[in-house]
Structure 1
Amino acid sequence: MRLDKYLSTFADLTRSQAKRALKNGEVECDGELIKDPSFKVTADHHISLVGMPLEPVGERYIMLHKPEESVCSHVDDGYMSIFSLMELPRPDKLHVAGRLDADTTGLVLITSDGQWSHALTSPRRHCSKRYRVWLADPITDGAISQLEQGVELHGEDKPTQPAQVEQVSDTEILLTISEGKYHQVKRMLAAVGNKVAALHRESMGDIELDEDLEPGDWRYLTEDEIASVDKR
Structure 2
Amino acid sequence: MVGISMVMRLDFFLAHGTGLSRKQVKILIGKGAVRVDGEERPKANTRVVEGQGVWLHDEPVQLPGHRYLMLHKPAGVVSATEDGEHRTVVDLIPAELRRDLHPAGRLDRDTTGLVLLTSDGDWSHRLTSPNHACGKRYRVCCADPVSDEDLQALREGILLRGEDRPTLPAEAERLSEHELLLTITEGRYHQVKRMLAARGNKVEGLHREQIGEIELDAELAPGEFRVLTEDEVASI
- Normalising to structure 1: TM-score of the pair? 0.74
What is residue 60 of structure 1 aligned with on the other side?
Answer: 67
Deviation at 1:180, TM superposition (A): 0.7
1:189 aligns with 2:218: no
Report whether the alignment pairs 1:178 with 2:185. Answer: yes
Between the aligned partners of 1:208 and 1:11, the Cα distance in structure 2 is 29
Structure-2 separation of matches of 1:133 and 1:10: 38
Q: Report the Cα offset of residue 111 of structure 1.
A: 0.3
1:213 corresponding residue in structure 2: 220
Which residue is 1:140 aligned to? 147
- Contact kept in structure 2, 1:132 and 1:175, CA below 8 Å: yes
Amino acid across the alignment from 2:81: H
Decide which of 117, 141, 145 is 1:110's aligned counterpart. 117
The sequence identity of aligned pairs, in percent, is 55
Quickly say closer, same or farther: Cα 1:148–1:228, change in 2 above 3 A: same
CA distance in structure 2 between the aligned counterparts of 1:133 and 1:216, rounded to whole angstroms: 20
C-alpha separation between the residues in 1 aligned to 2:215 and 2:209?
6
SS of aligned partner of 1:70: coil
Residues 63-82 of structure 1 mapped to structure 2, 5 A cutoff: 63-82=70-89
Shift of 1:141: 1.1
Q: Which amino acid aligns with 1:151?
A: I
- Say if 1:183 and 1:225 are closer, same or farther in 2 by CA, change over 3 A: same
Shift, 1:92, TM fit: 4.7
Contact 2:159 2:166 (8 Å CA) reproduced? yes
Could you say which residue in structure 2 is the equivalent of 1:18?
none
Distance 1:10 1:173, change over 3 A: closer
Distance 2:102 2:185 in 1: 21
d(CA) in 2 for partners of 1:11, 1:197 = 41
Cα distance, 1:154–1:92 mapped onto 2, change above 3 Å: farther
Unpaired runs of at least 5, structure 2: 1-14, 22-61
Matched residue count: 182
Greater Rg over alpha carbons, structure: 1
Residue 125 (structure 1) aligned with residue 132 (structure 2): yes
Supply the distance in 1 between the matched residues of 2:173 and 2:164 (Cα, whole angstroms).
Answer: 27
Structure 1 pair 206–71 and aligned structure 2 pair: CA distance change class (3 A): same
Q: Could you say what the CA RMSD is over the residues aligned between the two structures, in angstroms?
A: 2.0
Q: In the alignment, what sits opposite 2:52?
A: none
Residue 10 (structure 2) aligns with? none
- Counterpart AA for 1:104: T
1:130 aligned counterpart, secondary structure: strand
Alpha-carbon distance in structure 2 between the residues aligned to 1:172 and 1:66? 20
Output the CA distance in 1 between the equivalents of 2:192 and 2:228: 26
Matches within 5 A, 1:3-22: 11=19
Ranges of 4+ aligned residues in structure 1 off by more than 6 Å: none
Q: CA deviation at 1:98?
A: 1.1
Normalized against structure 2, the TM-score is what?
Answer: 0.72
Q: Distance in 2 between matches of 1:11 and 1:82?
A: 20
Change in Cα spacing, 1:144 to 1:111, as seen in structure 2 (3 Å) is: same
Residues 95 and 162 from structure 1, CA distance in 2 versus in 1: closer, same or farther, beyond 3 angstroms? Answer: same
Amino acid at match of 1:117: S
Is the CA contact (8 Å cut-off) linking 2:144 and 2:178 kept in structure 1? yes
Name stretches of at least 5 consecutive residues in structure 1 with no aligned partner: 1-6, 14-54
Judging changes above 3 Å, is the alpha-carbon distance between structure 1 residues 90 and 65 closer, same or farther for their aligned structure 2 residues?
closer
